[in-house]
């Protein structure tokens, strides 16, 4: 679960970076936001996903101990 949380956080950071750099001549930012237009237009959804996965990972880790 911790690995999934890290992947979601990294993916969210990448899409957030792309949303900040779209239209500035950066090929990858333009390409990412072309494919994930909803997430680039409303990055607050990414924050909700990161919080949910992080809380789930922490709860699961606490339940194991």
- Sequence ranges of the domains in the chain: 2-64
Displacement of CA 63 from its chain's centroid (Å): 25
Whole-number Cα distances in Å, 8 to 23, 25, 36, 59? 25, 26, 14, 17
Write down the residue that tokens 């899409």 correspond to: 15
Q: Is the pLDDT of residue 65 over 80?
A: no
Residue % of the chain over a pLDDT of 70: 98
Contact 50, 9 (CB under 8 A): yes
Average pLDDT of span 37-51: 86
Using the Cα atoms of residue 47, residue 49, residue 53 and residue 59 in order, give the sign of their dihedral.
positive
């Amino acid at each position: 679960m911790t690995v999934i949380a890290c992947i979601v956080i990294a993916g969210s950071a990448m899409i957030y970076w792309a949303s900040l750099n779209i239209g500035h001549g950066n090929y990858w930012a333009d390409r990412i936001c072309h494919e994930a237009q909803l997430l680039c237009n409303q990055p607050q959804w990414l924050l909700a996903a990161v919080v949910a996965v992080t809380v789930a990972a922490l709860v699961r880790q606490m339940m194991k101990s």
